[in-house]
Amino acid sequence: MKKRKFGLALSLVLAAGTLLGACGSSETNEGSTGSTDSTEEKFKVAMVTDVGGVDDKSFNQSAWEGIKAYGADNGLEEGNEGYSYLQSQSDADYETNLNTLARQDFNLVYGIGFLMMDAVNNVASQQTETQFGIVDAVVEQPNVASITFKENEAGYLAGVAAGLATKTNKVGFIGGMEIEVIDRFEAGFIAGVKAVNPDAEVDSQYAGAFDKAELGQTIAASMYSSNVDVIFHAAGATGNGLFKEARDLKAKDPSRYIWAIGVDADQTAEGVLEIDGEEKNIILTSALKRVDVAVKDLAEQAKAGTFPGGEVINYGLAEDGVGLAPVNPDVENVDDINSKVEEYKEQIKNGEIEVPASVSEL
């Protein structure tokens, strides 16, 4: 399968050209995925969540934000005639939900997450007139575009922040399931920590699920009790347990020095707590995986008639597909952290630093 990088600038130019072309045409043929003329005014987009749900405050939610942004930019309303989503309660729902959206004549249907790889492959081979997008997996079908990310680059920046913020020289990593995507996050995180703090230890543990907050909390409690003071999660909704444990510990002992690092979206809002009438926040930063950017970008390309079917689109720092959220200003050495993050970000972009893409490469 060919690999290609798509810049956001190109997508914006294509989208602008499409909108201008739409102004000169009064003909619409809703639900058609044929000629460009029939789809310019209404190109419908939908997504199927994995079991984490659309409000997981992470991966699925970010994808939904991207689809909503696409809808807003193109004058669409939520629903069967604009943009929509179906939530999966179990793996058994994936094919059913994908088929449902295809039969409702959505032009582009996303499967969010590697768990839907087989389902997208099966449905795409049957619903050949529908275009599909798969996030975090590769499906080799001519009507499927595969979106992947350089999670290791985002993880590296999170590691730089953690390595500089820790006072105990012990940091933690909580993974959801042991898959390539999470392995990339872990590899980058460890490399980033070691780059700025060679003496730091990294305790990595996996929950085995992306939707078990109670497991995330249990792992976090164990880590914090063993003198870890900064924990990064790449575990979807399981990571919500990390945030709860950090908030609870901070509320119990306001002087305690502990931090949590979010993933995918800026999860700052998950760290808020009130201590003696003053708002505090235990989120140090978040490793951004701009699923919203990628989903919207691909939708605009498809609407413009340049759907990259059968190709892999890989988003990294250079494509604004990954990054790091603002560092909490309350951390004592915030200026030093920000400076180092920017320094390493540029070195990754210009190729001076090649971030390992798996733990085995470390």
State how far the Cα of 70 lies from the Cα of 51, in Å rounded to an integer. 23
What six digits make up the tokens of 53? 């749900």
Q: What tens digit of pLDDT does each residue of 312-326 get?
A: 999 999 999 999 999
Amino acid making up residue 70: Y
Q: Tokens 């043929």 map to which residue?
A: 29
The domains spanning 3-149+290-319 and 151-288+327-357 adopt the same CATH topology: yes
pLDDT, average across residues 92-108: 98
The CATH architecture to which 151-288+327-357 belongs is 3-Layer(aba) Sandwich (3.40)
Instruction: Quick: pLDDT tens for 18-29.
Output: 333 333 333 333
Q: Is 279 helix (H, G, I), strand (E, B) or coil?
A: strand
- Pairing of the two strands 322-324 and 283-289: antiparallel
First to last CA, the chain: 27
Closest CA to 314 of 141, 169, 145: 145
Which positions ≥6 away from 53 have C-beta within 8 Å?
Answer: 60, 87, 211, 237
Number of other residues whose CB lies within 10 A of the CB of residue 111: 33
Non-local (6+) Cβ contacts of 339 within 8 A are none
pLDDT-derived band of residue 41, with 50, 70 and 90 as boundaries? Answer: low
- Burial class from Cβ neighbours inside 10 Å (0-12, 13-18, 19+) for residue 97 reads buried
Of 265 and 178, the structure prediction assigns the larger pLDDT to 178
- What pLDDT digit, counting tens, does each position of 46-78 carry? 999 998 889 887 789 999 999 999 999 999 999
The pTM (predicted TM-score) of the whole model is: 0.83
**Which pLDDT band, with edges at 50, 70 and 90, does 142 fall under?**
very high
Contact yes or no for 45/71 (Cβ under 8 A): yes
Domain boundaries, the chain: 3-149+290-319, 151-288+327-357
Q: What value does the mean pLDDT of the chain take?
A: 90
Written in H, E and C, the secondary structure of 95-134 is HHHHHHHHHCCCCEEEEECHHHHHHHHHHHHHCCCCEEEE
316 exposure class (CB count in 10 Å sphere: 0-12, 13-18, 19+): buried
Instruction: Please tell me the predicted confidence (pLDDT) of residue 5.
Output: 41
> What mean pLDDT comes out for the span 175-200?
97
Q: What is the CATH number of domain 3-149+290-319?
A: 3.40.50.2300
CA angle (105 as vertex; 104, 111 as ends), nearest 5: 80
Residue-level pLDDT at 78? 98
- Strand partners of residue 314: 148
Query: In the structure encoding, which two tokens stand for residue 25, read together?
Result: 């045409």
Structure token digits, residue 156:
């590296």
Neighbour tally for 65: CB within 10 Å: 18
Q: Determine what percent of the chain is predicted with pLDDT higher than 70.
A: 89
Contacts of 252 (CB under 8 A, 6+ apart): none
